[in-house]
């Protein structure tokens, strides 16, 4: 895409969240409203995932200043699964640069399922975006490291810095996924055949499987989201994890491709960058304001948490988080004759 903005500084205007008590009340209300919601099924294509308790449900918001709002099972651990893709993409963006990763991985939706082989073939062997398995495997292959062990250690350490604590590998999930990841191995071999991988494809699949098997909580996801919301600085540890430029690129891809083939509906209805995983977690980001983590194992037929989507839709509306929400200025009227007016009298974020 030729947009000719080299040397033009990216400016940022994000606003603020409502007062602390309003956010706290909204989080508690979101959990209370959706606790009794039914529908969806727990993922069972990987045996270890099928063991999840369908009744678990947690909602957590972490503001960019480190304040935490939590309700429900926010400390229940589960494997991060596809939510890890956004973090790996941010790390790869820093490692190889914006232009390289845009060309090598792509940023457009596939319109296909997350493990589609057809999407690769239809695009001449090119991955379309990092939020589906083919693109995520290719993204992991761009991370630094002389071999698979080094690459995993670098990745494990970085994902832990996103969470603000040392994350542990779920050995049962890792073993279960390794025994059932023939499709991912086939995807990696296909990418290799098109010259899209520069390293051993099966070693990269192993690293990718490990990253998906790290244990996290809804609170961890919220901290990770707040890190992306605040230009790559973890609000709990105050540690710089990735660059602001990597965060910008990651949030854009999350917004357009983070909810599998339902990504368009997500953006239309909820209006904030998000990424789901088949274990039931969703990480959402309100740029400059907060990260949100939700967890509830029952999924819709696209692989997205049913309760999680409903809770996030509620929070988006009552807290004014939708990036595309628009309303007339309070009092109406024309700005004619006031060309320098920069701030109106809207009070939606009070």
103 among the known binding-site residues?
A: no
* C-alpha distances out from residue 166 to 158, 220, 222, 251, Å: 10, 11, 16, 24
Q: Is 45 annotated as a binding residue?
A: no
Task: Judge whether 311 and 322 are in contact, CB under 8 Å.
Answer: no
Catalytic-labelled residue, pool 74, 85, 242, 279: 85
The reply, when asked if residue 181 is annotated as ligand binding, is: no
SS3 254: helix
192: Cβ–Cβ under 8 A, 6 or more apart, which residues? 201
Question: Is residue 278 annotated as part of the catalytic site, yes or no?
Answer: yes
The answer to whether residue 89 is catalytic is no
Task: Judge whether 279 is annotated as a binding position.
Answer: no
Q: Which of 324, 25, 49, 85 is nearest to 224 (CA)?
A: 85
Q: Binding site annotation covers 260?
A: yes
Q: Is 82 annotated as a binding residue?
A: yes
The residue length of the chain stands at 350
Q: How many C-beta atoms lie closer than 10 Å to residue 107's C-beta? A: 19
213 included as an active-site residue = no
Enclosing H/E stretch for 114: none
Q: Is 27 assigned a catalytic role?
A: no
Q: Which of 23, 74, 82, 176 is catalytic?
A: 82
Among 208, 213, 242, 286, the active-site one is 208
User: Is 59 labelled as part of a ligand binding site?
Assistant: no
85 is an active site residue: yes
DSSP count for the chain of H helices, then E strands: 13, 7
Catalytic residue among 86, 107, 233, 278: 278
As annotated, the binding site for substrate includes 82, 133, 177, 184, 208, 260, 278
Residues labelled as active-site residues: 82, 85, 208, 260, 278
As annotated, the binding site includes 82, 133, 177, 184, 208, 260, 278
């Amino acid at each position: 895409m030729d947009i000719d903005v080299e040397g033009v500084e990216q400016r940022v205007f994000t606003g603020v969240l409502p007062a602390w008590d309003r956010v706290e009340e909204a989080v508690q209300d979101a959990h209370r409203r959706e606790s009794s919601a039914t529908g969806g099924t727990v993922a069972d294509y990987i045996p270890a995932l099928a063991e999840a308790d369908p009744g678990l449900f947690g909602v957590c918001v972490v503001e960019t200043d480190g304040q935490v709002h939590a309700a429900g099972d926010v400390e229940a651990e589960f494997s991060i699964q596809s939510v890890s893709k956004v973090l790996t993409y941010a790390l790869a963006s820093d490692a190889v640069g914006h232009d390289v990763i845009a060309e090598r991985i792509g940023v457009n939706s596939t319109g296909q399922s997350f493990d589609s082989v057809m999407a690769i073939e239809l695009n001449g062997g090119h991955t379309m975006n990092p939020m589906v398995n083919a693109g995520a495997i290719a993204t992991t292959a761009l991370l630094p490291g002389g071999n698979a062990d080094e690459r995993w250690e670098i990745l494990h350490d970085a994902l832990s810095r996103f969470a603000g604590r040392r994350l542990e590998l779920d050995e049962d999930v890792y073993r279960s996924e390794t025994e059932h990841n023939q499709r991912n191995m086939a995807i990696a071999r296909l990418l290799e055949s098109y010259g899209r991988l520069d390293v051993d494809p099966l070693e990269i699949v192993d690293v990718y499987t490990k990253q998906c098997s790290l244990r996290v909580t809804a609170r961890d996801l919220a901290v990770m989201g707040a890190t992306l919301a605040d230009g790559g600085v973890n609000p709990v540890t105050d540690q710089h994890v990735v660059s602001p430029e990597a965060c910008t690129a990651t949030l854009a891809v999350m917004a357009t491709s983070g909810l599998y083939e339902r990504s368009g509906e997500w953006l239309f209805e909820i209006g904030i960058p998000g990424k789901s995983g088949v274990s039931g977690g969703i990480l959402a980001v309100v740029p400059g304001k907060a990260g949100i983590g939700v967890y509830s194992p029952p999924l819709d037929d696209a692989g997205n948490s049913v309760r999680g989507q409903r809770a996030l839709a509620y929070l988006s509306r009552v807290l004014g988080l939708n990036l595309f929400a628009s309303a007339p200025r309070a009092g109406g009227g024309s700005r004619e004759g006031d060309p320098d007016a920069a701030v109106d009298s809207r009070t939606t974020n009070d």
